[in-house]
Structure 1
Amino acid sequence: MSRTVVVTGATSGIGRAAAREFAGRGDRLVLAARSRTTLAEVRGECEKIGAEVLAVPTDVTADGALEALTDAAVTRFGGVDVWVHTAAVMAYGRFEETPERVFEQVVRTDLLAAAGAARVALRHFRATGGGTLILTGSVLGHITAPFMSGYVASKWGLQGLARALQQEARETPGVNVCIVTPGSVDTPVYQQAANYLGRIGRPPLPITSPERVARAIVDCADRPRREVSVGRVNLVMRFGFTLLPGVYDVLVVPLMRIAGLTNRPVAPHEGTVFTPNPAGESVRGGWLPDLAQLARGVGELPASIGGAVRRRLR
């Protein structure tokens, strides 16, 4: 049966992949993000798959924006069955060198806006008899990494919020609260992040695809669970952080400099913390090879080699 699904942060990364995944299931979509132009692109992508789509340009940190998004969904589709919150921004820099306004906006977007989305979604679900809220956390909600203090603080807060909401939801039959916690994901958020560190960030290996995270989100909508971890080494990192904290803290800074930062220099900038960058929005960030393109290349290799040999023999 078709559902009405709200997706915030729908123009890039996990949110855009999730929108496509729900569209492929035949669900009705309410897509929200800051960029009107990119949001129109995503709407077109999902309509081409066959979904009925409402696109609502939304800054999740603006007063009243999430209430207006809910009202738009109710007006168009009569209600909301699933709310997926993926909107997030990031900033790199030592804590004391990151501008206060940037740090606070990261927390406002990644934690307080998630709380706002949860508030309007849960009120709606209680009023209508049920629904599923899916928050997008991070393995950094269970461990820490240097030079990302605003993001880490937000994800730890989101983890605690999700747990508290799950406890409260036990008293409301039909209402589910889930959190999906990926590790490193191939999205543009690293290039789009504010940066006061002098080097562009990147996802440490191993990296998973946003499509895999999107499938976990859709699976939670189908079969709600408290938490789903997406990433091959998430549990290993959590184990080291919890049971070997001294060793973890000794290793994490040099590992972050090696694995979590590129060698590409960058001047201080605010990234997309305050305003979107439509030119940088896409499902993937280019950190993983395009496996489909790679497979096509491998398939064409024998013919290419054969052609080269024939030309050489002429």
Structure 2
Amino acid sequence: MSRVVVVVGATSGIGRVAAREFARRGDRLVLAARAPQTLNDVRAECAAEGAEVLVVPTDVTAPGALAALADAAVARFGRIDAWVHTAAVTAYGRFDEVPGRIFDQVVRTDLLAAAEAARVALRHFRSTGSGTLVLTGSVLGHITAPYLSGYVAAKWGLTGLVRTLQQELRDLPDVHVCLVSPGSVDTPIYQRAANHLGLVGRPPPPVATPERVARAVVDCLARPRREVSVGRLNPLMRVGFTVLPGLYDVLVGPLMRRLGLADEPAPAHDGVLFAADPASEAVRGGWLPDVGHLLRTAAALPASAGTRLLRRVR
């Protein structure tokens, strides 16, 4: 029997790739994000894979929105087997220079909305006795970096929340809570970030593909794990942060300024924190070459060249 999977944050990055992969596996999908038009685009992508899809435009920070999303899923499909929550925003700036409303909105979106999603999903799973909740954390839920205080605070909070939930659910062996914690990922979150630092943010290397992280998310439904780290340097950074905190603090600032920020100036702006921007919603952020696209293009070149040659012969 196909699973019923709710994917929140389905219009860009990791969530969009995960939705496509669930569709390929024959799951029935409930897709949620803020932008209705982009949601419809993703629905078409998943329907092309043969999936039955319900889209529910949802602002995760709106009171009652996630409960309404769950109600819509149950009304359409009768149950929820898995809930994948990937919605996130970020903001650049020194803590004392970031407006309070910006900091609060990052925490509201990345931590409090994720907590509400967990509350809604777990109530449903407790009533049915089974289900899997996948939340997307970050390596910045275990270490810190300057100029990202709201995001770091939210992801640390999310890490603590997940551990608590895992402890509280020990009486329900068929209910699972998984945390997928990537390092830098090639998604548009950096371009979509609020900025009060004056410089454009970018993902410090090494940068993973959203496809790699999405595979970890999808795999959690088949093999639930407490936490999955995605990123070659994540373990090293966590060890340095814990074992050599003084040295870590000396190095992290210069490394962030050199690798995590571009020389390109950025005016102060709110990014997508308070309103969706459909034009910026995509799978990739453009920080890595799309190898799949390059391979498909290369594979098409001989056929294209052959067609042109035939036309000339004729």
Q: Tell me by how many angstroms 1:296 deviates.
A: 5.2
1:126-137 correspondence runs (5 A): 126-137=126-137
Q: Tell me by how many angstroms 1:290 deviates.
A: 1.3
**RMSD value, Cα:** 1.5
Change (3 A) 1:197 1:36: same
Q: Deviations over 1:208-238 (max 9, x none)?
A: 1111111101110111110011111100110
Q: Tell me by how many angstroms 1:295 deviates.
A: 3.4
Q: Tell me by how many angstroms 1:292 deviates.
A: 2.6
Could you say what secondary structure the match of 1:189 adopts?
coil
Gaps of 5+ in 1: 305-314
Match of residue 113 from structure 1: 113
Gaps of 5+ in 2: 305-314
Partner Cα separation in structure 1 for residue 143 and residue 50 of structure 2 = 40
Q: Tell me by how many angstroms 1:57 deviates.
A: 0.1
Change (3 A) 1:303 1:132: closer
TM-score by length of 1: 0.94
Match of residue 71 from structure 1: 71
Q: Tell me by how many angstroms 1:200 deviates.
A: 1.0
Could you say what secondary structure the match of 1:217 adopts?
helix
Could you say what secondary structure the match of 1:103 adopts?
helix
Q: Tell me by how many angstroms 1:293 deviates.
A: 3.5
Match of residue 311 from structure 1: none
Match of residue 312 from structure 1: none
1:143-158 correspondence runs (5 A): 143-158=143-158
Partner Cα separation in structure 1 for residue 109 and residue 59 of structure 2 = 9
Could you say what secondary structure the match of 1:5 adopts?
strand
**Are residue 169 (structure 1) and residue 169 (structure 2) matched?**
yes
Match of residue 307 from structure 1: none
Aligned length: 304
Q: Tell me by how many angstroms 1:298 deviates.
A: 6.0
The AA in structure 2 aligned to 1:106 is V
Match of residue 35 from structure 1: 35
TM-score by length of 2: 0.94
The AA in structure 2 aligned to 1:203 is P
Match of residue 274 from structure 2: 274
1:1-314 correspondence runs (5 A): 1-295=1-295
Could you say what secondary structure the match of 1:191 adopts?
coil
Partner Cα separation in structure 2 for residue 86 and residue 296 of structure 1 = 28
Counting aligned pairs with the same residue, the percent is 71
Q: Deviations over 1:53-88 (max 9, x none)?
A: 000000011011011000000000001000001010
Q: Tell me by how many angstroms 1:172 deviates.
A: 1.7
The AA in structure 2 aligned to 1:126 is R
Q: Deviations over 1:114-143 (max 9, x none)?
A: 000000000000001210000000000000
**Which stretch has the larger CA shift, 156-165 or 166-175?**
166-175
Q: Tell me by how many angstroms 1:263 deviates.
A: 1.5
The AA in structure 1 aligned to 2:184 is S
Q: Tell me by how many angstroms 1:43 deviates.
A: 0.7
Partner Cα separation in structure 2 for residue 111 and residue 296 of structure 1 = 39
Partner Cα separation in structure 1 for residue 28 and residue 299 of structure 2 = 37
The AA in structure 2 aligned to 1:223 is R
Partner Cα separation in structure 2 for residue 282 and residue 164 of structure 1 = 33
